[in-house]
Structures are given as structure tokens and as C-alpha cells.
Amino acid sequence: MDHKVTVVGAGHVGATTAQRIAEAELADVVMVDIAADLATGKALDMMESAPVLGFNARITGGGDYDPTAGSDVCVVTAGLARKPGMSRDDLLKKNTEITRGVVEELVSRSPDTILIVVTNPLDAMCEVARRVSGFPRERVMGMAGVLDAARMRWFIADELRVSVQDVDAFVLGGHGDSMVPLPRFATVNGIPLPNLLSADRIEAINERTRKGGAEIVNYYKDGSAYYAPSAAVVDMVAAILRDKRKILPCAAYLQGEYGIEGLFVGVPVKLGRRGVEEVVELELSAAERAELDRSVEAVRGLVGALA
């Protein structure tokens, strides 16, 4: 393949991301995990599916970072999920250590790469990756908005019984309970959502979107979502590698846009070969603005706890 993508963490999200990238023949994939054999085994298992499925991308896996050298894009999914008895702060500390170590290893071998962070707490881990890499904001971003918007799109399509292909939606803000679904910008084949659904039903969809991650955790019990998260990552990877300049909601480091300085926040960005090529500013209503401000405060609190 012309491109190489590294995925760190061969767990649920990482391995499914690797599989989707290879099956779409977007790039060769190197998986790295502290559980080296897990990464090696999953890579081999996926390659043994290649003759049946007919994809030509190559997937390798292990614990060594050397094979990641020269990656076009690196996706960071390494980390712990919250265990019983562990506070959010404990998780923040542990995943900060993990993300710091992983990003150091990656950027020393791929100084020109583009980093896509997936590990939670997302907006804070993006900031860790930015500080450790020293990369410009074009090349460090987080995946959250594409997933949150995809959930909202599915709920809309399901409610209206229309094709998912016709439904667009946008979610701004941090990746957490304070995310900001924007039904005013949701459309069904160009028709604004408020023309098709009552305010009550729209608010129910907004609320289900905000709690979309928790809904899946409640079913899985011991783990969180990965089919939709990996699909969302791959949408971003494809936009970058194929220079699509797609406008996607991503966690981006704001430098004055939306009146926010020096913080990762989920906003619409133009994603192309250079990474975050532009932050798209929407005019928000007073209510939307207030919701965004609340969400930004939540992110500021997390980043403040990093130090």
C-alpha cells in the first residue's frame, strides 16, 4: 500500500480500526500493544482473513515501535477503561502516563505523522499528545464528534425510518455528558430536522445522543463501544489519506475560534492531507452558545487537573 497507519492498542477499538482500514485497503497497518502477543495474534488472524475477503493491505502487530517508523497517521487507543473503585481522576492519571509514553515512542519514529487520539478522557488526552509531540495543531486531533454525530444520525434515521445516507447531524463540544447536539444543523436530504420532527422528539434524540456511550456500556457491562468508534476513526483516516477535505466534527485545538483559546474542543474541521486544515465557525444561538460554554468548562476542568 502507499500509506502506513499505526494503531496503538490492539484492544476492542484498536483492533477493529486496524481491520476496517485493511479491509478498505486504505493503508498497511502496524498494531502495537503492551500485550505484544495479543497484537501479533490479532494481526495474523486478520491476515488469514485476507485471502477470503481479498484485501491486499498488510497488517502486522507486536510490542515494538520500530516497525511504525514513517507512519502517515497514528491512532492512539491505548489505555485503561474505568474499573470498579477507580475514580475519574485515577483514570486521568493512568491514561495520561500511557498516552505520554505512547506518543513519545510514536513521534520519535514518525516526526511528520498525524496523531488521532481516541483514549479517554478524550479532550485531555489530546492535550497530553499535543504537549508531548510538540506538533502544530494541524497534526493532533481527537475522535469523538464523528462518533457522537453518527449516533445522532442513527437515532434520527431510525425514528423517521429513512436511509442513514440521507441523514446529517452535528455535535459540538467536549466528549462527555456535556456534549452539544445541534439539531438545527441536522438535515434529512437537505430538509432541516425541525421540519420533520416535533421539539419533544428532537430533545429525546439529543438526550439519547449525550448518553450514547453509557447506553452501550450498560449492555456490554465489561467494556465500551467499539464498532461505531472504529468506523468513526476510519472516516477521519480516509479523509486525511485521500485528502478529501471532508468537514467532520473533531476535537481540535482552538486558537481563538469560537472565542476559545488553547483548548481542545469538538468543532467542525476541514480534514485533508495536512490534517486539520481549517476550523469551521458556526454562528450559534444564545442557547447553543450557553451549552457550548458549559461543555468547555468541563474540558477546562479536566485539562487543569493534568499539570
Ligand X SMILES: NC(=O)c1ccc[n+]([C@@H]2O[C@H](COP(=O)([O-])OP(=O)(O)OC[C@H]3O[C@@H](n4cnc5c(N)ncnc54)[C@H](O)[C@@H]3O)[C@@H](O)[C@H]2O)c1
DSSP character at residue 281: P
Pick from 4, 7, 14, 296: which binds ligand X (CB under 6 A)?
14
For ligand X, the closer of residues 14 and 181 by Cβ is: 14
Q: Which residues, other chains included, contact 97 with Cβ-Cβ below 8 Å and sequence gap of 6+?
A: none
225 lies in the binding site for ligand X (CB under 6 A): yes
128 lies in the binding site for ligand X (CB under 6 A): no
Active site residue 3: no
- In whole angstroms, the minimum distance from the beta carbon of 118 to ligand X comes to 5
Pick from 30, 74, 102, 205: which binds ligand X (CB under 6 A)?
102
Pick from 4, 11, 103, 169: which binds ligand X (CB under 6 A)?
11
Pick from 1, 23, 34, 157: which binds ligand X (CB under 6 A)?
34
For ligand X, the closer of residues 187 and 230 by Cβ is: 230
Pick from 60, 96, 120, 133: which binds ligand X (CB under 6 A)?
120
Q: Using CA atoms, how far apart are residues 41 and 280, in angstroms rounded to an integer?
A: 41
235 lies in the binding site for ligand X (CB under 6 A): no
Cα 296 from chain centre: 18
Q: Using CA atoms, how far apart are residues 303 and 123, in angstroms rounded to an integer?
A: 8
**DSSP SS3 for 302:** helix
10 lies in the binding site for ligand X (CB under 6 A): yes
How many H helices and E strands in the chain? 10, 14
Which cell numbers hold the place of 148?
457522537
For ligand X, the closer of residues 14 and 173 by Cβ is: 14
Pick from 29, 57, 122, 171: which binds ligand X (CB under 6 A)?
122
Peptide bond into 194 cis (omega under 30): no
Q: Tell me the pairing of strands 246-255 and 191-192.
A: unpaired
79 lies in the binding site for ligand X (CB under 6 A): yes
Instruction: Please give the size of the binding site for ligand X, defined by CB under 6 A.
Output: 31
Binding segment toward ligand X, per CB under 6 A, in 3-11, 50-58, 158-166, 294-302: 3-11
In SS3 terms, 170-197 reads as CEEECCCCCCEECHHHCEECCEEHHHCC
- Count of residues for the chain? 307
Q: Using CA atoms, how far apart are residues 242 and 21, in angstroms rounded to an integer?
A: 13
From 130, 153, 175, 210, the catalytic residue: 175
DSSP character at residue 294: H
Residue at grid coordinates 475519574:
88
Residues of this chain that interact with ligand X (CB under 6 A) are: 8-14, 33-35, 38, 77-79, 81, 98, 101-102, 118-120, 122, 143-144, 147, 175, 223-226, 229
